[in-house]
A and B are shown apart, each in its own frame.
Chain A
Amino acid sequence: MTTVATLSEETDSPYALSHLDALESEGVHIFREVAGEFERPVILFSGGKDSIVMLHLALKAFAPAAIPFSLLHVDTGHNFPEVIAYRDRVVAEHGLRLHVASVQEYIDAGKLRERPDGTRNPLQTVPLTEKIQSERFDAVFGGGRRDEEKARAKERVFSLRDEFSQWDPRRQRPELWNLYNGRHAPGEHVRVFPLSNWTELDVWQYIAREKIELPQIYFAHEREVFQRSGMWLTAGEWGGPKDDETVEKRLVRYRTVGDMSCTGAVDSDATTLDAVIAEIAASRLTERGATRADDKLSEAAMEDRKREGYF
């Protein structure tokens, strides 16, 4: 009979880290590398769960000292009020400095034009990249995860952007071992993704383990919503519902938090972290597939936006 090495009963040594500990340690390592190698890093902070986990990792990485970075929020003007309130509370609690790049200001000044479909997500790129240039940020942390989307699966942890903030997937630097290369010329910057190797489920498990507070819209609640393109959108002054769309009250929660105009709610009765985790583990839809309109625009929507400088 042909056989192979017999399986060991003991699968892991006592020194093996749990997957959450391994991901946490790697994330902290990435924050500290940036702190050691860059002059003006900034953390993109939207008040969404990924950026909340990023902030939590950063707080741990430098404790008991303060985080040596400021925060940057790209405000579309269509954000959920609960999320803005959360953002401001966190900033005050940790004594952080918050930069805001405002899509509304760009529209009011005539520098950006509202899209016919009303979504403001793609409009974030210009205020974001101009803020990076004007503040001379040289490292910009984003909460992007490679499991979100197939173009993001190709993304490096340290991702060089040129002076126009453009991503060129064919000219990426190979990333070897944990030796991240942060070299960049003046005017260029590096997008840094400490959660690259995390999945949606990892993020939720970590939030549960670390008992991190989240904006309440992540948990099931009654909300006035209407249906558009198969998604439940929140009614509001941003532009919905239209005449042929009807508002109804439903028990929903959000899996991602972005612009109100393109982020859909999902039907859910999950009011606790454990219930949310169980719901995601059983879901047959990705978080983007379930709730994001912007990625459905074309097969390469994410790649195209990333090339332009989107995070």
Chain B
Amino acid sequence: MTSTTDPTEPLSVEQLSATTLLRFATAGSVDDGKSTLVGRLLHDSKSVLTDQLEAVAHASRNRGQDAPDLALLTDGLRAEREQGITIDVAYRYFATARRRFILADTPGHVQYTRNMVTGASTAELTVILVDARNGVVEQTRRHAAIAALLRVPHVVLAVNKMDLVDYQETVFAAIAEEFTAYASELGVPEITAIPISALAGDNVVDPSANMDWYGGPTFLEHLETVPVTHDLATCHARLPVQYVIRPQTAEHPDYRGYAGQIAAGAFRVGEEVTVLPSGRTSKISAIDLLGRPVDVAWTTQSVTVLLEDDIDISRGDLIVPSKDAPATTQDIEATVCHVADAALTIGHRVLLKHGTRTVKAIVKDIPSRLTLDDLSLHPHPGHLVANDIGRVKIRTAEPLPVDAYADSRRTGSFILIDPADGTTLTAGMVGESFASPEPVKTAADDDGWDF
């Protein structure tokens, strides 16, 4: 993979325009070949360019290494290069003719659980790597549990180093079966297992001649074709108001628009809406999609909404369809991942940011801490330290319209902030920890596993 003489074909301007974006995250233990896989994806998609490879070769020679150390490509910080480990999430970019990718490259060490949570929070797909020789290990289960907690819609189990187990189907099948059973129990909605060798290139970009028993997609093909949005019909529409746009100019004397990025679902002109927490109602009179009037707008579009009535709305409010408004509450129960070095304790006074609203809050109780290894609950731990995942009860100073995280990753999530120094303390997910497993399907409509 260090070859620089075989650039892939350049993409045409037309090919480059009609692509969608997939955000995904990688997770893996220390020696399972994650950087090799990332390196191969970047390299084979022409995202590692000659000057970057030269810089790596140069730095490797300076260290007295014979071969270019590809970890230098991704370890961006001085401390990471010095210690030879990846400390922090890095974001990487590559593209194929079919899609653009944002890869949250997260370290695999258990003490960096918070980094995996960070990467998974914006990911639509998580890749969990296992070494085919070792199979499902403790760390694999931790990664699966975090993907389940964060409700990442798609999980890929990449069974790596198949070359070291003679490309045996039985080895792959046993690992895939064990993992799928475990992850399904956690409620992971979709699991795709792919046998690969990142080093040899089997099933990463090109189908492997060594595993003709495998009939599924290559790793890259799966990344290119996995659907990136949910069915909006089942989503609750939510628009957190970021900013009120009032030009107050001669041309627009009365313009009053509510700007925000749609967090979930779709909004239509003419729809009856309720503004929370006040509960006032009106109708959408127009939607402005960054300079273009539209009849309908949907999730992750940044829009400006105009209402028929002049009602009091400001940053922090949530606009929802009147027929589908969440209840507001001052008592939130959530699963959290503590991300700060200082502990989170009962009685801690914090700020809670939910959508565009930041309110004072107090940690009322920490009923349990989750042990990721076996998913057992440790009752009343008293506090949570960095990388702990636990259940927390929070009382907020003002009512908040929160959804369950299971229903909406955007309006069901929040962060806790230390009011003294602004540190981000905790990532929170409202409601139950793990999704219910999928109901058992009958053989007729089973499009999943077929052993």
Contacts and interface: CB of A to CB of B under 8 A. Distances in A.
Interface of A: 1-8, 10-13, 15-26, 28-29, 32-33, 35-36, 60-66, 146-147, 149-154, 160, 169-170, 172-179, 181, 183-185, 196-197, 199, 201-202, 205, 208-209, 274, 277-278, 281-286, 288-290, 299-300, 303
Contacts of A16: 20, 227-229
Given A29-B302, A64-B251, A12 B228 contact: yes
Given A2-B169, A277-B16, A283-B49, A173 B424 contact: yes
B220 to A, nearest CB: 13
A263 to B, nearest CB: 15
A2 B194 contact: no
Contacts of A170: 77, 79, 87-88
Nearest to A17: B300
Contacts of A65: 245-249, 252, 255
Given A4-B194, A12-B228, A205 B17 contact: yes
Contact of A181 (B10, B19, B409, B424): B424
Contacts of A185: 421-422
- Find the residue from B17, B99, B245, B302 having the highest chain A CB count within 10 A: B302
Given A36-B315, A146-B93, A286 B213 contact: no
10 contacts: A2-B176, A5-B190, A7-B225, A12-B227, A17-B20, A24-B290, A29-B302, A154-B89, A174-B115, A179-B353
A303 B422 contact: no
B215 A286 contact: no
Given A7-B221, A15-B298, A274-B13, A154 B90 contact: yes
Contacts of B410: 177-178
Given A29-B302, A63-B245, A179-B353, 16 more contacts: A11-B20, A12-B227, A16-B20, A19-B100, A24-B302, A35-B243, A61-B290, A62-B243, A153-B90, A169-B88, A174-B115, A176-B415, A177-B413, A199-B93, A285-B50, A289-B49
B18 interface: yes
A286 B16 CA distance: 18
A149 B98 CA distance: 25
Contact of B290 (A28, A197, A303): A28
B261 interface: yes
- Find the residue from A5, A147, A274, A281 having the highest chain B CB count within 10 A: A5
A62 B245 contact: yes
Contacts, number: 274
**Interface magnitude class on chain B:** 35 or more
B225 A13 contact: no
Interface string B386-428: 0000000000000000000000011001110100011110010
Interface in B158-205: 169, 172-173, 176, 190, 192-194
A181 B415 contact: yes
B88 A15 contact: no
B247 A64 contact: yes
A184 B421 CA distance: 7
Nearest to A150: B76
Interface string B237-255: 0000011011111011001
A196 B190 CA distance: 29
B436 interface: no
A184 B424 CA distance: 11
Contact of B78 (A10, A60, A303): A303
- Find the residue from A6, A150, A282, A285 having the highest chain B CB count within 10 A: A150
